[in-house]
Amino acid sequence: MPTIPSTALEVHLAARPTGRPGPETFAVVEADVPRPAQGQLLVRNLVMSVDPYMRGRMNDAKSYAPPYEVGQVMHGGAVGEVVESTVDGFAPGDAVLHGLGWREYAVLDARGASKIDLGLAPAGAFLGVLGMPGLTAYAGLLDVAGFRAGETLFVSGAAGAVGSLVGQIARQKGAARVIGSAGSAAKVRYLREKLGFDAAFNYKDGPVADQLAAAAPDGIDVYFDNVGGDHLEAAIGSLNVHGRVTVCGMISQYNATEPAPAPRNLTMIIAKRLTIRGMLVMDHANLQPQFYREMSTWLRDGTIHYEETVFSGLRNAPDAFLAMLDGHNTGKMLVTLDGS
């Protein structure tokens, strides 16, 4: 077992950003490593997640999760190794999934930790394909949108952690056609050649509505929205009667300093009898066993592929977060905490 240091690094929210965050938004701080009280674990983090939802938590605004506090350590999904335990059922050396990332060492209540088997998959997979993004893709497509075999799907942000899985799950469930948008030619090739999308386009190459109409001449039945803005407007235009939309994220608007205009074609919702639903993965915990069973099978037989973009060292976590917001990741963005 590793020696427990007296101090370690953690990342604080230094200031609330206006518009796009920058390096000044974060502060890397040396802090005392606390000792666990009864019922708690001390965990040495191995890998942590950075996710788009964290941008919203930097604002001082009421939402589904409380905002990060200025001058305090941030938090998010992480996988770590128990180094000290006061709880039966957890022992030093156990690998656990928990919610106190953005620090090298974390003290947490045992009820906030889930034991995982790193013999089944690498640590990062439990933060991506087998974790929150995977369940988001699965629940958002199959439960929220009610996707059915024979339908055509369009997913934006299709090369990201969630979008890349949405498209592949749709293929597993018998999609007639899977279409994705991404922000570079390399990502478009990845969607077509590696993930098996029927069509993909670079949204920077021209109007999204025109490119989507060309990719889906018979329209789409389901749109999985990770971007918002012109993508949502284009999808409304291409959706068939009784089409469905899962609104998972709107990353194009997260750094906006003024309210974004609504899609200009909202009246189509009436004539097409569309269903547009927002989703939070926390509402779908009941699907976790079913999701884990199916996704594990797909991973074992090689029909689902996933990518990770990895930064090394906690000091580089802010850079990883900013790169993710700018779309520089393919698949899940992770930070390993060795060599901080």
For residue range 302-338, list pLDDT tens digits in order: 999 999 999 999 999 999 999 999 999 999 999 999 7
Question: Can you give the residue ranges of every domain in the chain?
Answer: 7-125+306-336, 132-282
> Which of 117-121, 177-181, 186-190, 195-199 has the least mean pLDDT?
117-121
Q: What band does 1 get if pLDDT is binned at 50, 70 and 90?
A: low
* C-beta neighbour count of 138 within 10 angstroms: 24
pTM: 0.95
Mean pLDDT of 258-278: 94
* pLDDT for the residue 241: 98
Cα dist from 317 to 103, 189, 311, 322, whole Å: 10, 28, 7, 9
Q: What band does 62 get if pLDDT is binned at 50, 70 and 90?
A: confident
Q: Give the mean pLDDT of the chain.
A: 95
Query: Does pLDDT of 110 surpass 70?
Result: yes
Q: Judge whether 71 and 107 are in contact, CB under 8 Å.
A: no
> What dihedral angle (degrees, nearest 10) is formed by the CA atoms of 111, 112, 118, 121?
120
The CATH code of domain 7-125+306-336 reads 3.90.180.10
* pLDDT for the residue 130: 97
Q: What is the pLDDT of residues 128-175, one digit of tens each?
A: 999 999 999 999 999 999 999 999 999 999 999 999 999 999 999 999
* pLDDT for the residue 340: 45
Q: What band does 199 get if pLDDT is binned at 50, 70 and 90?
A: very high
Of residues 263, 245, 87, the one with CA closest to residue 153 = 245
Query: Does pLDDT of 339 surpass 70?
Result: no
Q: What is the pLDDT of residues 205-253, one digit of tens each?
A: 999 999 999 999 999 999 999 999 999 999 999 999 999 999 999 988 8
* pLDDT for the residue 262: 83
The CATH code of domain 132-282 reads 3.40.50.720
Q: Determine what percent of the chain is predicted with pLDDT higher than 90.
A: 93
Q: Determine what percent of the chain is predicted with pLDDT higher than 70.
A: 99
Place of tokens 């009784």: 242
Q: What is the pLDDT of residues 75-93, one digit of tens each?
A: 999 999 999 999 999 999 9
Query: Does pLDDT of 40 surpass 90?
Result: yes
Mean pLDDT of 99-126: 96
* pLDDT for the residue 228: 94
Q: How many CA atoms lie within 13 A of 206 on its CB side?
A: 8
Query: Does pLDDT of 47 surpass 70?
Result: yes
Query: Does pLDDT of 28 surpass 70?
Result: yes
Q: Which helix (H) or strand (E) holds 236?
A: helix 230-238
Compute the distance between CA of residue 80 and CA of residue 63 in angstroms, rounded to an integer: 28
- In the chain, the largest separation of any two C-alpha atoms, in whole Å, equals 65
